[in-house]
Amino acid sequence: MTNSTYLSKAIILKRSRFKESSCLCRCITEDYGLLNFAANGTYKEKGPLTGVLEPFNEVDIELHRSSGAGLYYLRNAGLIDSYMIGIDYLKTLFLCAAGELMLQVNYPIEDSQDYYNLLKVYCSFLKTTTYHPFPVFIRYAIRLLKLLGVPLDNNCAGCGSSQVTAYCVSQHGFTCRACNPSQDKPYASSECSYSVAEKQYSYSDTLTLSDKTSYLVANIGNLKSIDKDMITNETLEEIKEIINAHLSSSFHKMFHLKSIDDCGKQFDKTE
Ligand SMILES: [Zn+2]
């Protein structure tokens, strides 16, 4: 059996304790996609890796793995940047949401660099931006959907109009009032279902947008035009539901964004 060495840049997305003094890291890498590696001795006091393997740190890693064996082991790691240090609580939540979304997608290893760069650019931008993190996160999600080959255009899927008033699962995008007459029908009449692992899920085919969400969607290309008071708990819930519905109906598995479940409540606090 031969040993193989893997060198890459990586962003740590999750870290958990593994055996007595080791940890298991889930990360996105520039060269090998999403992977897990174990690091020994990281829970010992003041080791060489103290502070290096924290969530949303970007690191240079050297991994090794016996051929055929599943788990990678860390040989060396060097810190490049820390994206979570020095940011406020709301930004932290949206950083976690981006990681949470990335951990749920599948993509070919050949495309590793594109996905890695998407997350890296988002992390760097979020760290320094003075814009509200929510629209910044929406733009990240839209770019991720495009990379995944299931683009979510902010114009009407039917006629291209920029005046969208609903998200329609069966049309796979936003719709204007003229293109989606079902938006005014009672909830039950527009219900759809799909199956995941032999379980049936039903959902509303049409999610009618509040005025603020319509505005947010239409102006997502121009962060300057999005005023803080356009961002509410309601807009968060609607956008979250749209991202989940778009992904779940495209890939026939359930997606979730638990990390921003309570985010909307934070919006009022930060006023
Ligand atoms: Zn239309």
pLDDT digits (tens, 9 = 90+) for 90-139: 999 999 999 999 999 999 999 999 999 999 999 999 999 999 999 999 99
pTM for this prediction? 0.90
Statement to judge: residues 140 and 250 lie in one domain? yes
pLDDT (0 to 100) of residue 188:
42
Q: Which of 43, 97, 35 is nearest to 61 (CA)?
A: 35
Considering the domain architecture, whether residues 23 and 109 belong to the same structural domain is answered as: no
What spacing in Å lies between the alpha carbon of 111 and ligand 1's midpoint? 33
Count of structural domains within the chain: 2
Provide the CATH number for the domain around residue 24.
2.40.50.140
The last residue of a domain, from among 82, 109, 141: 82
Residue 197, pLDDT above cutoff 90: no
| Cβ-count burial 18-50 (b if 16+ within 10 Å, e if not) | beeebbbbbbbbbebbbbebbbbebbeeeeebe
Are residues 103 and 222 both part of a single domain? yes
Q: Are 131 and 151 found together in one domain? A: yes
Quickly state the pLDDT bin for 193 (edges 50, 70, 90). Answer: low
CA of 172 to the centre of ligand 1 (A): 13
Whole-number Å distance, alpha carbon 157 to ligand 1 midpoint, is 6
197 and 246 inside one domain? yes
Average pLDDT over residues 28-42: 92
Report the pLDDT value the prediction gives residue 270, as an integer from 0 to 100: 53
Residue 2 has a pLDDT of 61
Domain hosting residue 7, numbered range: 3-82
Question: For residue 127, how far is its CA from the centre of ligand 1 (angstroms)?
Answer: 37
Domain with residue 142: its CATH number is: 1.20.1440
Average pLDDT, the chain: 88
188 and 97 inside one domain:
yes
In this structure, the answer to whether residues 63 and 103 fall within a common structural domain is: no
**169 and 124 inside one domain:** yes
The H-or-E segment that residue 203 falls in is: strand 199-204
